[in-house]
Amino acid sequence: MTGTSFSARQWCEKNDGDNQKNLSETEKLEEACWNGLLQDMLPEIYMHTGVDKKLYLWQIKEATSFIELELGEIPEEKEKYFSIDPYSFLPLRLLS
């Protein structure tokens, strides 16, 4: 969720360049995810992956009040019915 105290935290960037100062809160959060800080930020996601399995970040989508992370061993189509993304499941819910 963006606009929260979690997303407003200052994450350690790999490159402390001046261009980081011009980024929005959401852009800084996305940059931290792409820079490999996701496991430090949300360790509970990686707790049950198993020894042989690795999670890869395939895509980040920005929405109005959150960012969606596409994680997995391989990129695959998600089932919209089981998604927690309101833009995915609400249209299906209204058709039911």
pLDDT at 93: 55
What local confidence, expressed as pLDDT, does residue 65 receive? 84
Q: What is the rounded CA–CA span in Å between residue 85 and residue 60?
A: 13
Sequence ranges of the domains in the chain? 18-95
> What does the pLDDT read at residue 72?
86
Which amino acid appears at position 84 of this protein? Answer: I
pLDDT in tens, the chain (96 residues): 788 887 777 765 555 555 556 888 888 889 999 998 888 888 888 777 666 778 889 999 888 888 888 888 888 887 777 777 777 766 655 555
Which residues neighbour 50 within 8 Å (Cβ) at sequence distance 6 or greater? none
Structure confidence at residue 34 (pLDDT): 92
Report pTM.
0.68
Task: Give the pLDDT of residue 94.
Answer: 54
**CA–CA distances in Å: residue 54 to residues 31, 42, 45, 80, 84:** 20, 15, 11, 23, 22
Q: DSSP secondary structure string, 11-54?
A: PPPSS--GGGGGS-HHHHHHHHIIIIIHHHH-GGGTTTS-SS--
